[in-house]
Amino acid sequence: MEILFVCTGNTCRSCMAEVIFNEMSDIENIKAYSAGISIVSGSKTSKNAVQLVKDNFNLDISNRFAQQLLPGDIKKSNLILTMTEYMAEVLKDTFPKEKQKIFSLNSFVNISKDVSDPFGGNVEMYQRTFYSLKKSIELLISKLKEDSGK
């Protein structure tokens, strides 16, 4: 199973979500990836996101480049989780045949608000977003385990 996390530029939220999921999940045969709906070509993961991933998981993602969301990513992914409701609606409108697998991350785990975008913010903003993502992904992992009967 492939989970695709989607945000705007793939330099903050979705790439942190990808790492958080892949590091925290103990579910076999599920891998997370991430992409952005409107990336700047050649952009790398933001320095604050790099630092939070390093501090929490001892992983270096400083050389990671943003990935543009492509139609093939939508088709191959089993579950697509966006950082906002608006992004989920845009993707459902753009890919109507795939809408049954597109959700905002927080709505999928019954949290009412969107994941805030820390882009351009200070480290405290990134920390809030990181820990918000971590909480949502803990709920996601539990939900996936429940849904699979594990």
Q: Which position among 26, 55, 114, 117 bears the catalytic label?
A: 117
Q: Which position among 12, 13, 15, 64 bears the catalytic label?
A: 13
Q: DSSP state, 68?
A: B
Side-chain-facing half-sphere of 123: CA atoms under 13 Å: 7
- 13 assigned to active site: yes
- Determine contact, residues 62/112, Cβ cutoff 8 Å: no
Q: Which residues have a catalytic role annotated?
A: 7, 13, 117
